[in-house]
Structures are given as C-alpha cells and as structure tokens.
A and B are shown apart, each in its own frame.
Chain A
Amino acid sequence: DAMVIQNPRYQVTQFGKPVTLSCSQTLNHNVMYWYQQKSSQAPKLLFHYYDKDFNNEADTPDNFQSRRPNTSFCFLDIRSPGLGDAAMYLCATSRERASPTDTQYFGPGTRLTVL
C-alpha cells in the first residue's frame, strides 16, 4: 500500500541535543509538509517542499530545518531542542500544491519528548 511513513514513532532527546525526524513516502507526491502539533492544539504548518523548492512559514523558528534529499524522503532537524519543542510532528504529502482538492496524506507522526 502506498503510504507515508515516519520514523521513529517516539523520540526522546535531551535539552539542546540535536535531533532528526524522518519521513518517507511511496506515493511519489511532489509536495511534503511538516506540521507541529502540541498537546490539545491544532497541527501547525512549519514548512513544506515542492519538489526541491523549500518553503518556510514566516513564524517557524530558525531552530527548525528541513532537508529533502530525494522525492521519497524528507527530514526535520531540530538543532537545539527546547522543552517547548516537545510535540507530535506530522509529515504529510500531496500530489501538487496548486489545487485545494489535492488533499494531504498524513503519516502517523513522531512524538518528541525533550528532557
């Protein structure tokens, strides 16, 4: 089955220790998104890639970076995690970005804990 896979499902890191979250997709979609969802809050878009074109949201902290080495994989790097970065991180894909009917397909998320 075509799908969006996130690894690991649970990640524990220490305050200030860099961490990388991984997302892969078998849908061959052009667009990959990263969302942050804190407890009881709405998922919030951090950035997205359209092919190799990186698009950052204006309010995404510099502490968050992303890489997309190929169509299938996308990584979220948190350079110096703070306690406030503890959250569920959701990866999503869509075929294109120029149509509202191109719905997004989500992975199961990675829950990040910062000690």
Chain B
Amino acid sequence: DQQVKQNSPSLSVQEGRISILNCDYTNSMFDYFLWYKKYPAEGPTFLISISSIKDKNEDGRFTVFLNKSAKHLSLHIVPSQPGDSAVYFCAASLWSGTYKYIFGTGTRLKVLA
C-alpha cells in the first residue's frame, strides 16, 4: 500500500522554464512533508519541507505547495537549471514512536540546456 505516490517517473523541462513535480498521499496523519534531491552515485539530500499546517513554503528558486483537501503537494522550480537534473523524492513524516519518513518512488527531472 503506497501511502506516498509520485506518478510521474520522469519529467523533461527546458532550461529557464518552470519544473513542477507532483506528489500525492493517502494518510491524513502525515504532519510534515519533505523533498529530497538525489544525484547519481550520491545519497539523497534534503531540499525543502513544509508543515501540514501551511500551504506554501519558499526557498529561493524552490517552492512547495500543499493542498491538504486534495492530499497533494507539488514542488516548483523556477527557473530550472541544468544542475537541477536529478531524481526528486517526496517524503511524508509520520509519528510512530519516532518520526519516520515514507518516501515516494521518485521523479527523474531532466533540464535541457
């Protein structure tokens, strides 16, 4: 039972344009959402997060939007740069004696120069 879903395995975007990566979840008990970025041969690195009580969080070129009623979040990258090409994982945090992350399967973003 996949509680966090990233339905687009890959996405290609032209440099300078907006990249929008989507994530859907099923568990309304998730209290925090995170995006991680992963380059080949490296571990995932934290990118940006959002609390479930907010609907938007912005950090430079990266903005995460949360729509709780739709159980949907998205990551916007504006403008996209070739260095943004990576796999992006959506994760949701759930308290179960400790805060655990439930990950999505990832979306591979390719930014074309």
Q: How many chain-A residues does the 8 Å CB contact rule pick out?
A: 26
Smallest CB separation, A47 vs chain B (Å): 11
Smallest CB separation, A6 vs chain B (Å): 8
Tell me if A109 and B43 are in contact (CB < 8 A).
Answer: yes
Q: List residues of B (20-45) whose CB comes within 8 Å of A's CBs.
A: 31-32, 34, 36, 41-45
Q: How many chain-B residues does the 8 Å CB contact rule pick out?
A: 28
Tell me if B105 and A107 are in contact (CB < 8 A).
Answer: no
B103 interface hit (Cβ, 8 Å): yes
C-beta contact mask, B1-28 vs A, less than 8 Å → 1, else 0?
0101000010000000000000000000
Query: Taking chain A's interface residues, is the majority helix, strand, or loop, or is none over half, making it mixed?
Result: loop
Give every chain A residue within 8 A of B98 (Cβ-Cβ): 31, 48, 50, 55, 97-98
Tell me if B99 and A100 are in contact (CB < 8 A).
Answer: yes
Give every chain A residue within 8 A of B80 (Cβ-Cβ): none
Give every chain A residue within 8 A of B102 (Cβ-Cβ): 42
B85 interface hit (Cβ, 8 Å): no
C-beta contact mask, A10-49 vs B, less than 8 Å → 1, else 0?
0000000000000000000001000000001111110010
Tell me if A42 and B43 are in contact (CB < 8 A).
Answer: no
In the docked arrangement, what's the CA distance between A43 and B91, Å? 10
